[in-house]
């Protein structure tokens, strides 16, 4: 263990007890003792969540790679290194596992939350494997911010499915955390124009238990209330406010980034190594490097009710828009779930 002082009292207790035993125990025994002490700590005292699928760098099981704390990615690094639980080097780790994803479809991410701090998740992809030598790793990830898939057609207010939360056009990159802890799954769209053997996926959790991390938070929760949802159960005391000027399209990311720069709340990050390939490529079934475990996520499409007939391409239904099938303008041109979403949304680009 790292025997230096730590601002977290619970972690100090773990470190001190383990360090007292250090002269008497071998390396394996010391790791076992440290893990046993950690498991005896109160829930949520170390770390709050992590990326379970695709599996984060180094895997999600406890190991010395992440100091036996996969959920402790609460550092300033692009991959969550540093912060509350000693040294780790997920930014420099290059041994996978690597997950193969198919461009142009949907992927269902999985996040395990151990202590609920509200807020929202975001995902981004860098077209290379980011390392310490990457000039601006965060800027690379931000080049391809992923957008949520449209909610299922059968959603109702206060639906217990997280993907049923309203989709605000100005905040399509955000997935807000529903009440409760445990494992959350959320569907996002993968751009059709990305094809890379060694990409990096980043998950970011902007917590909101002590403040609203972006000035336009209230716009989302106002929309929830308008649609009959119990928004206060999601945002607690920090629901934010909303003005008409905050509803301008394409403003949400810059405002979110500004909120983080002002030091508002905790933020968790993980990185995952992925291969992103076109659906007709044979590489979709194999790894790009000899890693221990590879999982393939096949793009899934929301089911369309049998009685619903999607409009022909280029034909606008009465009073609405259609999916933009021009792939030079719309990275999600092949995602058929937009056929049912576009008629009720005037989203420039996707429709």
Burial track 266-277 (b if 16+ CB lie within 10 A, e otherwise): bbbbbbbbbbbb
CA separation for the pair 266, 100 (Å, rounded): 30
Residue-level pLDDT at 134: 93
pLDDT tens for the chain, residues 1 to 351:
333 333 333 333 333 333 333 444 454 444 443 443 333 333 333 457 888 999 988 776 665 555 555 555 556 688 887 765 556 778 888 777 889 999 999 999 999 988 778 899 999 999 999 999 998 999 999 999 999 999 999 999 999 999 999 999 889 999 999 998 789 999 999 999 998 999 999 999 888 888 888 888 889 999 999 999 999 999 988 888 887 665 554 444 444 444 343 447 788 888 999 999 886 544 333 333 333 333 444 333 333 333 444 444 444 555 578 878 776 566 556 566 667 767 776 666 667
CA separation for the pair 106, 104 (Å, rounded): 7
Asked if 309 and 240 count as a contact pair (C-beta separation under 8 A), the reply is no
Asked if 249 and 74 count as a contact pair (C-beta separation under 8 A), the reply is no
- Length of the chain equals 351
| Domain parsing of the chain, residue ranges | 1-42, 44-209+249-300, 303-351
CA 58 to centroid of chain Cα atoms: 17
3-state secondary structure of 268: strand
Asked if 186 and 115 count as a contact pair (C-beta separation under 8 A), the reply is no
How many C-beta atoms surround the C-beta of residue 297 within 10 A?
19
Per-residue DSSP letter, 177: P
Q: pTM of this prediction?
A: 0.66
Residue 74 phi/psi, 5-degree rounding, is -110, 40
> Is 44-209+249-300 in CATH node 2.70.50.50?
yes
Indicate left, alpha or beta for 158 from its phi (over 0: left) and psi (-120 to 50: alpha).
left
CA separation for the pair 145, 101 (Å, rounded): 16
Residue-level pLDDT at 230: 96
Residue-level pLDDT at 213: 83
Please state, in angstroms and as integers, the Cα–Cα distance from residue 256 to each residue in 1, 121, 239, following that order: 36, 11, 14
Tokens 């898939």: give the residue. 149
Give all strands of the β-sheet with 98-102 in edge-to-edge order.
Answer: 175-176, 120-126, 196-206, 267-277, 98-102, 296-297
Q: Which two tokens stand for residue 255?
A: 């405002």
3-state secondary structure of 75: coil
């Amino acid at each position: 263990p790292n025997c230096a002082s730590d601002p977290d009292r619970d972690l100090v207790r773990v470190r001190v007890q383990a360090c007292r035993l250090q002269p008497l125990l071998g390396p394996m025994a010391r790791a076992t003792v440290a893990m046993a002490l950690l498991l005896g700590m109160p829930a949520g005292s170390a770390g709050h969540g992590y990326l379970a699928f695709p599996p984060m760098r180094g895997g999600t099981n406890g190991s010395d790679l992440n100091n036996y704390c996969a959920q402790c990615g609460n550092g300033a690094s692009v991959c969550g290194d540093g912060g509350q639980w000693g040294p780790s080097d997920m930014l420099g780790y290059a041994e996978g596992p690597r997950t193969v994803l198919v461009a142009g479809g949907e992927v269902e991410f999985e996040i395990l939350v151990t202590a609920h701090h509200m807020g929202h998740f975001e995902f981004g992809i860098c077209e290379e494997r980011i390392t310490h030598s990457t000039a601006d790793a965060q800027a690379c990830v931000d080049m391809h911010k992923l957008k949520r898939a449209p909610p299922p057609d059968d959603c109702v207010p206060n639906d217990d499915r997280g993907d049923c939360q309203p989709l605000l056009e100005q905040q399509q990159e955000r997935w807000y955390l529903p009440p409760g802890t445990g494992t959350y799954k959320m569907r996002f769209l993968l751009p059709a124009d990305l094809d890379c053997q060694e990409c990096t996926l980043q998950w970011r959790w902007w917590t909101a238990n002590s403040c609203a991390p972006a000035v336009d938070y209230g716009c989302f929760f106002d929309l929830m209330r308008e649609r009959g949802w119990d928004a206060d159960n999601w945002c607690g005391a920090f629901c934010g406010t909303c003005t008409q000027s905050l509803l301008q399209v394409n403003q949400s990311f810059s405002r979110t980034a500004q909120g983080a720069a002002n030091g508002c709340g905790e933020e968790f990050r993980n990185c995952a190594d992925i291969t992103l390939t076109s659906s007709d490529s044979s590489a979709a079934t194999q790894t790009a490097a000899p890693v221990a475990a590879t999982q393939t996520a096949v793009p899934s499409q929301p089911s369309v009710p049998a009685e619903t007939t999607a409009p022909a391409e280029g034909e606008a239904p009465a009073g609405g828009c259609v999916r933009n099938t021009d792939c030079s303008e719309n990275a999600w041109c092949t995602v058929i779930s937009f056929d049912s979403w576009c008629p009720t949304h005037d989203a420039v680009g996707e429709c």
